[in-house]
Chains A and B, each alone.
Chain A
Amino acid sequence: MGLVNEFIDRAEENGTSTELVRSEEEAGRRVVELAGAAAVTRWDDQIVAGLDLAETSPEKAELSLVVASYGIAPSGSLVLVHGAGRSAGAALLPPRQIVLLSSVAIVKNLIDALLPIYSDSDAIPANIVIVTGPSRTRDIGLVPVIGVHAPKELHVIVISAQV
C-alpha cells in the first residue's frame, strides 16, 4: 500500500485528481458516473470496452477513457502504451481524461517501468507516453496556465483489491 499511497499523494500534487476503488466493477460504475452525458472516446481494453457510454470520435469527444500500463510512484506518473486499439489521438485530443490503473502496476521508479518494456526487442511499442499531470504552460508572462493541447483535466481511478 506504501507505493499506492505515494503514487496518490504525488499525483494529487501534480494536479491529477485520484480515487481508490476495490474492484473493476466499482471502477466501471465510477467511470459511468463521472462521464455523465459527455461524449466519450475510449481504448479497446476490456475493462472500459463494455461500459454503457455515448461514444464518438477522438476529435469530437469531450472525455477520453484509457488504461495505464504502469504508475510511477515518486512522481505520480502514468505510463500509457499506444498500440492497436489504443490510439494516440484518443489519449490526446479530448480535454478531459480518465485513466484506469491497477495498483499492482505501480512501480517505485521510472526504470522499473521501462526495463520490462524495452527488454523484449521483438515487441517494442512504437509510442509510449509518460504523463505527469495535466498539460500546462507559463509561456505568457510566466503565468501558469493549466490545459493546453494535451488533456486539461486528468483523473486516475486506482483499482486495488487490497483496499
Chain B
Amino acid sequence: MTGLIWADTEKIKKCAARAISDIALQKNLNNAAEHEREARRELEGKLPWQEMRTMARQSKTGAIEDLPQLLDLFEKRAIEAGSIVKRATTGEEAAQYVASVCRAHSAKTVVKGKSMLSEEIDLNQVLASEGIEAIETDLGEYIVQKRGEHPSHILAPAVHLNAGQVGDLFSQLGGESPGSSDPAALVEFARRRLRQSFLNAKVGVSGANFAVAETGTLIIVESEGNIRMCMTMPDVHIAVVGIEKVVSDWQAAAHLVQMLPMAAQGTEMATNVSLITGPARAGEGKEKELHIVLVDSGRMKVREGPYREMLNCIHCAACLAACPVYRQVGGHTYGSTYNGPMGVILTPLLAAMEGGSAKLTELCSLCGACREVCPVDIPLDDFIIDIRSDDRESSKPSAESLLFTIWARLWSKPASYRASVKSTGKALVPFMRRAKARSWLSRAPFPASLWTKERNIKAPASEMFRDLWKKRQDGSR
C-alpha cells in the first residue's frame, strides 16, 4: 500500500512508446499542460509569487516539523467538535477501518470523492473484497472506473480519453444512452446517473486537502460539487487524510488553500471550498457521523529522513504540467498512483525504496522545470538525483558500476586520460567520414555506443586543444 502499482522497466518502456505514438493523447496532454501553464503564468505575473511561495513553504515546513503535536491537537479539536478520529499507521489499517464503518451501517455501496490517498491504500479493492461497492463520483474518476483503468493524471483522471471514447463508454453502461458525444450532453448524463447514487448512499468517502489543527477542520476543494454531495447527502461521512495534510492555524490554511488552485490551474479560488468541523449537529437536520482517518503509511518515516521536505507537497500537480517527460508519456506509464516529478520521488519514499520503486526516478531528464513551478519550493530535481544515488549505493556492484570504476581510474591520471581520449577520437574517425567535425553522431563504437543507443554524441574536433596549445607554445619559443 504505497501507491506503487508495478515497477517494471520493460513495461514502462512499452507504455511510454505507446503513449508517445498516441496522437490524441499527446494532443490532450499538451493542451492540458499549456492551458494550465498559461493561466498560471498570467496569475503569477500579477502577484508577488516568490513571496507567496516562501510563505507557503514556511507554513508547510513548520507544520511538518511540529507534526506529532499538531496531529494530537487536530485530533483533540476534531473530537470536541463531534468527529470520530482514527489514527491508522498503515494503509491496510485505514482501509479496514473504512470497511468496518460501512459494515456497521450495513452499507453495500459508498459514494466517493476523488482521493489519491484512497488509491494509494487500495481502498476500493479492500471494500470490494468485503462486498462493498465504491462508486467514484468525480467525473474523470467515474469514467476510468467504468473502463477498469487507473487514472492518468492527479487533476484530470481521464485526460487520456476523448469525448468520443467517453460517449461510447456511456452507451455501453446500459439503460439510456447519452445520445451524443457532445461533452455537455455527456456531463448531463453522468450527473443524472450519479444523483441517484448520492441520494441513496448511506456512506460517503472523501479525502481532504488540508486539516487545520487549530479547530479540527477539514478543507476540501473541488470544481464539480460531487464531493459536497458525498459529504452531505449520506448519513455517514468518512474522510481519509494523509497526516502530512495537517497545518497549524487559519492564517496558514487560508494562504495554502489559495496557493493550491493558483498553482494547479492559475485560478484565485477553487469553485467550491468546503470547511468541515464535525458532523452536522442536531437541529441542522438529521444527526450525522463524521469519521476522520489520519493515515501514516510511511509518512512519519519520510519525516525522519533527508527527504522530509517532500511532505510539503500540496498535491497541486503543477510539476506534472511542467515536466517534459510527463507531457510525453502521460500518467499510466509510471505504474504508480502518484506520477510526474512528485510521483517519482514520493513513491519510492513511501515504499522505503523497495520493489524497484527507485527506478521511477529514471523517468526524468533533470531539466529542473518542476522545481521552478513548485508553489512550496521543493528541490524536486535534487531529490530525484539523490534518490538515484541512494539506490545505486544500496545495490550490489554490477557490470555498470565496474565500468564506472574503471573509467574513474583511467580519468584520474593525466597520462591515461590523454591516452584514452586520443584513442577514442581515433576510433570515432570511421564514423565521421560522412559527418563534419563537431557535428552530431548517432552511432559510435563501444563504449560510446552505450550513449548513442539513446542519445547523439558530438564528434570530436580534428585536433585536440591541448595539442593545438602545445604547438602554439612550441612555435612561439
Q: Is the CB of B228 within 8 A of A124?
A: no
Determine if B72 is an interface residue (Cβ-Cβ < 8 Å).
no
Q: Is the CB of A149 within 8 A of B228?
A: yes
Stretch at the interface among B265-273, B345-353, B406-414: B265-273
- B17 contacts across to A, CB distance below 8 A: none
A112 to B284, CA, bound (A): 26
Determine if B13 is an interface residue (Cβ-Cβ < 8 Å).
no
Most buried by A among B139, B157, B214: B139
Stretch at the interface among B84-92, B186-194, B397-405, B424-432: B186-194
Q: Is the CB of B283 within 8 A of A84?
A: yes
Q: Is the CB of B81 within 8 A of A126?
A: yes
Q: Is the CB of A141 within 8 A of B163?
A: yes
A92 to B257, CA, bound (A): 21
Q: Is the CB of A114 within 8 A of B250?
A: yes
Partner of A130, one of B35, B139, B250, B272: B272
A133 to B223, CA, bound (A): 9
Determine if A131 is an interface residue (Cβ-Cβ < 8 Å).
yes
- A18 contacts across to B, CB distance below 8 A: none
Determine if A137 is an interface residue (Cβ-Cβ < 8 Å).
yes
Determine if B217 is an interface residue (Cβ-Cβ < 8 Å).
yes
Q: Which of A86-121 contact B (CB under 8 A)?
A: 86-89, 92, 110-111, 114-115, 118, 121
- A129 contacts across to B, CB distance below 8 A: 228, 272-275
Known: A139-B158, A141-B161. A130 touches B275 (CB 8 A): yes
Stretch at the interface among A1-9, A45-53, A74-82: A74-82
- A138 contacts across to B, CB distance below 8 A: 156
Q: Is the CB of A130 within 8 A of B233?
A: no
Kindly provide the distance from the CB of A106 to the nearest chain B CB, expressed in whole angstroms.
15
- B254 contacts across to A, CB distance below 8 A: 110-111, 114
Q: Is the CB of A124 within 8 A of B284?
A: no
- A115 contacts across to B, CB distance below 8 A: 250
Contacts beyond the supplied A127-B277, A135-B271: 13 A-B pairs with Cβ under 8 Å: A72-B269, A118-B250, A131-B271, A132-B271, A132-B273, A133-B271, A135-B225, A139-B157, A141-B28, A142-B32, A145-B187, A148-B223, A150-B271
Report which B residues bind A (CB closer than 8 A).
Answer: 28, 31-32, 35, 81-82, 137-140, 143, 156-159, 161-163, 166, 183-184, 186-188, 190-191, 194-195, 198-199, 212, 214-215, 217, 223-226, 228-229, 231-233, 250-251, 253-254, 257-258, 268-281, 283-285
